[in-house]
Chain A
Amino acid sequence: MDLDIAPADEAFRAEARDWLAAHVPAVPLPSLETAEGFAAHREWERQLAADRWSVVSWPREHGGRDASLLRWLLFEEEYYAAGAPGRVGQNGIHLLAPTLFEHGTDEQRARVLGPMARGEAVWAQAWSEPESGSDLASLRSTAVRTDGGWLLNGQKTWSSRAAFADRAFGLFRSDPDAARPHQGLSYLMFPLDAPGVTVRPLGRLDGKPAFAELFLDDVFVPDADLIGAPGQGWRVAMSTAGNERGLTLRSPGRFTAAAGRLAALWHEMGGTAGTALGERVADALIGARAYQLFGYAQVSRLGAGGAVGAESSLTKVFWSELDLALHETALDLLGPYGALADGADEAPAHGSWADGYTFSLAGPIYAGTNEIQRDLIAERLLGLPKGRR
């Protein structure tokens, strides 16, 4: 058992660190949940891609560096430690791309992945519907066979950044007569500016407009944009849903960096050990370190031939609660300043904590609510019987 990073991996880490030191904007970009910030972040994706840092774990032919999962973890640690901008392309990169690598055709990969890596096509997830959140299999939007493709109808909602994104991917009911609700779903991609698509921005809890609901009225999608076989959408989606919950959506580097900033804030404010706040700062540091080490263990298990299965539910609950605790502690430390949101002209340099706090409130909800994840943990990892939800 060791935690030694091989010299070649250290060299990769150092290269990333140097590049980030030279390129991370000195002034933070505006929030990517606003139109202005979205454009600025798209430009940042382009810069990352120009030097092959936008999708380090992808094959070189699609703009990546063929980096191992360990190198990806190291890259992410450096990325967040450098205070680099949030990733506007993350829905595509972490959710759609793994699906295409596993279930897509060569043509789809060649057409979709490059523009995604360069930020030219930003993707939104169109899974949820007004009556289908956690019970995703109950979704009702339809895909009906037509000449050379499919016609989509229905409504999708709570789609992150769909207000500004270019394209979306989602599940549609293609066989309403299927024996079980999970069967008869198809996985399709469509442009958000296609005829028949109406995008209505929805304000989020923080007032930022990047959420959206989508109304689909006879939207034509060619066969080339169906992922996997018709009716196999659930299987295709679930085979990569673990990515959304596990390490790849919220990498440990994000939390080690945030916990480090929290500890610095605590020291700066003259914090004393042995106080309730001090204990919570310590717990944030311990939690972030635990998640980082869990990631290293997961990489090691994968290297030894293991697979990531239901344990992505463990990480989902852990990182979402860690994120919340970390930000709540920061606001408590800031006292009266904690109430000042991003953009307040009297907010101290730590104004971004309020922004991060609001974002962390969503963590236990998205990517499968923590209630559902706890059910999965209990049933799949502990072997408890299924029961009524």
Chain B
Amino acid sequence: MRFLPTAEQREFARTLDGMLGASGTPAVARAWAAGEQKPGRELWARLAATGLFALAVPERYGGSGLLPVELALSFVELGRHAVPGPPAETVAAAAFLERLGEAGAAEVWLPRIAAGEAVVSLCAGGPYALDADAADAVFVIEGGTVRRAEAHGRVQPSLDPTRRLARPLGGGVLAEGPAVTSAAAHAVEIARLVTAAQCLGLGRALLAATVSHVRQRTQFQVAIGSFQAVKHRLADTLIGLEFAQPLVYAAALAVAEGAPSAGREVAAAKVAAGEAGCAAARTALQLHGALGYTDEPDLSLWIRKARPLRDAWGTPADCRARVLAG
């Protein structure tokens, strides 16, 4: 047993972190929120160049095989840098199409996803598709059917402006039956896993920013980080994240092995990471004070993501029920 990322896995995450850090993701996110997709598509291409999307695609379609552990580690970095767009939905769509057993759709989309040429959204169970206006394809799963949407409704203002939500409209049924249901369950598991990973990365970024802030910010002639009330809040934030992390790793391993416990493990990881990310956002806001409540500092991008990500692909209530179901 070696329950730690390998040197290669750590190196891959470090590479992503470095690339994203140099890519000015806050500006990309702000442009994305304004409906301006060019910087986002450029970032998407850089992500694809690291091999990120190939991690969700089998080798026969130009990928490196579905690698949930590497995906989870990567999405921690995407969360850390508040990357906008539907990367979680795209990798989930890849998992869906691969599992569906409809060679046609897989042959069309999987090589393009792996190469970073396709931005794909997936809508399963909810009314809204994420980034339908930017996606090259939106797959909609309802009951036992899947269709490819032809259009979308108006983009609705949302809690996180970088998450652009719209109703998918129209489109003929591509496939139906138990194969759809089973592939959809698999896709939701992948989406839930990588969303949990994003929550973890988001929380890590918020904690780091807040620690740095409270070391510098002085009130009453001392750094506010020397106040016990401030310290304890940050200590609790760290505890939340530190104990969510192994749940995310274990969930990724369970998915990779196709373990019967995978659904439960992923749900547990999503609850813990989602709540830890949200708590980190609340702490960041509180300890930045009114600075944290203003839109101009980039911190706001991270703060506004925390709650929607916590609820995406399975609210805490849904996930806790899944844990109880055993």
Determine if chain A interacts with chain B.
Answer: yes
Name A residues whose Cβ lies closer than 8 Å to a Cβ of B.
1-6, 9, 70, 263, 266, 271, 273-274, 278-279, 281-283, 285-287, 289-291, 293-294, 296-297, 299-301, 303-304, 311, 314, 317-318, 371, 373-375, 377-379, 381-389
Interface residues of B in 90-122 (CB under 8 A from A): none
Interchain CB contact under 8 A, B250 and A293: yes
Q: Which 3 A-B pairs have the closest CB atoms?
A: A387-B226, A378-B231, A293-B246
Task: Give the residue of A4, A6, A291, A314 whose beta carbon is less than 8 angstroms from that of B238.
Answer: A314
Considering only CB atoms, which chain B residue lies closest to A304 in the complex?
B4
Interchain CB contact under 8 A, B6 and A1: yes
Instruction: Show 7 residue pairs from A and B whose CB-CB distance is below 8 angstroms, ordered by the A residue.
Output: A3-B250, A3-B253, A283-B271, A287-B243, A296-B1, A297-B245, A385-B226
List, in ascending order, chain B residues with CB within 8 A of A300's CB.
1-4
Q: Is B247 an interface residue (CB 8 A)?
A: yes
B side interface size, CB within 8 A: 46
List, in ascending order, chain A residues with CB within 8 A of B236's CB.
317, 374
Task: Give the residue of A4, A273, A383, A387 whose beta carbon is less than 8 angstroms from that of B324.
Answer: A273
Task: Give the residue of A297, A383, A388 whose beta carbon is less than 8 angstroms from that of B215.
Answer: A383
CB of A71 to closest CB in B, whole Å: 11
Considering only CB atoms, which chain A residue lies closest to B243 in the complex?
A290
Interchain CB contact under 8 A, B9 and A1: yes
CB of A389 to closest CB in B, whole Å: 6
Q: Is B285 an interface residue (CB 8 A)?
A: no
Interchain CB contact under 8 A, B321 and A278: yes
A89 to B207, CA, bound (A): 40
A387 to B211, CA, bound (A): 15
Interchain CB contact under 8 A, B247 and A290: yes
- Also in contact, A387 and B317, with CB within 8 A (given A286-B268, A296-B1): no
List, in ascending order, chain A residues with CB within 8 A of B320's CB.
273, 278-279, 282-283, 286
List, in ascending order, chain B residues with CB within 8 A of A282's CB.
271, 320-321, 323-324
Interchain CB contact under 8 A, A294 and B232: no
List, in ascending order, chain A residues with CB within 8 A of B238's CB.
314, 377, 381-382
Task: Give the residue of B211, B222, B231, B268 whose beta carbon is less than 8 angstroms from that of A285.
Answer: B268
- Also in contact, A297 and B3, with CB within 8 A (given A274-B317, A378-B235): yes
Task: Give the residue of B253, B268, B324, B325 whose beta carbon is less than 8 angstroms from that of A2.
Answer: B253
Q: Is B201 an interface residue (CB 8 A)?
A: no
Interchain CB contact under 8 A, A1 and B3: yes
A379 to B230, CA, bound (A): 11
A62 to B244, CA, bound (A): 38
A274 to B9, CA, bound (A): 37
A388 to B220, CA, bound (A): 13
CB of B9 to closest CB in A, whole Å: 7
- Also in contact, A383 and B239, with CB within 8 A (given A285-B268, A290-B247): no
Considering only CB atoms, which chain A residue lies closest to B254 in the complex?
A3
Q: Is B44 an interface residue (CB 8 A)?
A: no
CB of B82 to closest CB in A, whole Å: 21
List, in ascending order, chain B residues with CB within 8 A of A385's CB.
215, 222-223, 225-226
List, in ascending order, chain B residues with CB within 8 A of A291's CB.
243
Q: Is B249 an interface residue (CB 8 A)?
A: yes
A317 to B231, CA, bound (A): 14
A336 to B228, CA, bound (A): 39
Q: Is B143 an interface residue (CB 8 A)?
A: no
Choose among B230, B245, B321, B324 the residue with the greatest number of A CB atoms under 10 Å from its CB. Answer: B324
Q: 12 other contacts beyond A1-B3, A317-B236, with CB at 8 A cut-off?
A: A1-B2, A3-B3, A4-B1, A6-B1, A285-B324, A286-B272, A294-B246, A374-B235, A377-B238, A386-B226, A387-B225, A387-B227
Proximity string of chain B (230-270) to chain A, C-beta cutoff 8 Å, 1 when within and 0 when not? 11101110110011111101100100000000000100100
A379 to B4, CA, bound (A): 25
A375 to B321, CA, bound (A): 35
List, in ascending order, chain A residues with CB within 8 A of B242's CB.
294, 311, 314
A299 to B321, CA, bound (A): 31
A303 to B3, CA, bound (A): 10
Interchain CB contact under 8 A, A2 and B215: no
CB of B274 to closest CB in A, whole Å: 11
- Also in contact, A377 and B2, with CB within 8 A (given A274-B321, A282-B324, A384-B226): no
List, in ascending order, chain A residues with CB within 8 A of B33's CB.
none
List, in ascending order, chain B residues with CB within 8 A of A297's CB.
3-4, 245-246, 249
Interchain CB contact under 8 A, A374 and B231: yes
- Also in contact, A375 and B3, with CB within 8 A (given A3-B253, A291-B243): no
A385 to B224, CA, bound (A): 9
Task: Give the residue of A271, A286, A375, A378 whose beta carbon is less than 8 angstroms from that of B271.
Answer: A286
List, in ascending order, chain A residues with CB within 8 A of B245's CB.
297
List, in ascending order, chain B residues with CB within 8 A of A2's CB.
1-3, 253
CB of A318 to closest CB in B, whole Å: 6
Interchain CB contact under 8 A, A299 and B226: no
CB of B211 to closest CB in A, whole Å: 5
- Also in contact, A387 and B253, with CB within 8 A (given A1-B9, A294-B242, A296-B3): no
- Also in contact, A263 and B324, with CB within 8 A (given A3-B1, A70-B1): yes
List, in ascending order, chain A residues with CB within 8 A of B228's CB.
371, 375, 387-389
Interface residues of B in 192-239 (CB under 8 A from A): 207, 211, 214-215, 222-223, 225-228, 230-232, 234-236, 238-239
A294 to B241, CA, bound (A): 11
List, in ascending order, chain A residues with CB within 8 A of B271's CB.
282-283, 286
Q: Is B5 an interface residue (CB 8 A)?
A: yes
A375 to B229, CA, bound (A): 10
Choose among A9, A287, A289 the residue with the greatest number of B CB atoms under 10 Å from its CB. Answer: A289
Interchain CB contact under 8 A, B268 and A289: yes
CB of B258 to closest CB in A, whole Å: 14
Q: Is B69 an interface residue (CB 8 A)?
A: yes
A23 to B40, CA, bound (A): 64
A297 to B246, CA, bound (A): 7
Interchain CB contact under 8 A, A1 and B249: yes
A314 to B241, CA, bound (A): 11
A263 to B326, CA, bound (A): 10
A266 to B325, CA, bound (A): 12
CB of B270 to closest CB in A, whole Å: 10
Choose among A5, A311, A382 the residue with the greatest number of B CB atoms under 10 Å from its CB. Answer: A382
Interchain CB contact under 8 A, B272 and A290: yes
A282 to B319, CA, bound (A): 9
List, in ascending order, chain A residues with CB within 8 A of B244's CB.
290
CB of B4 to closest CB in A, whole Å: 4
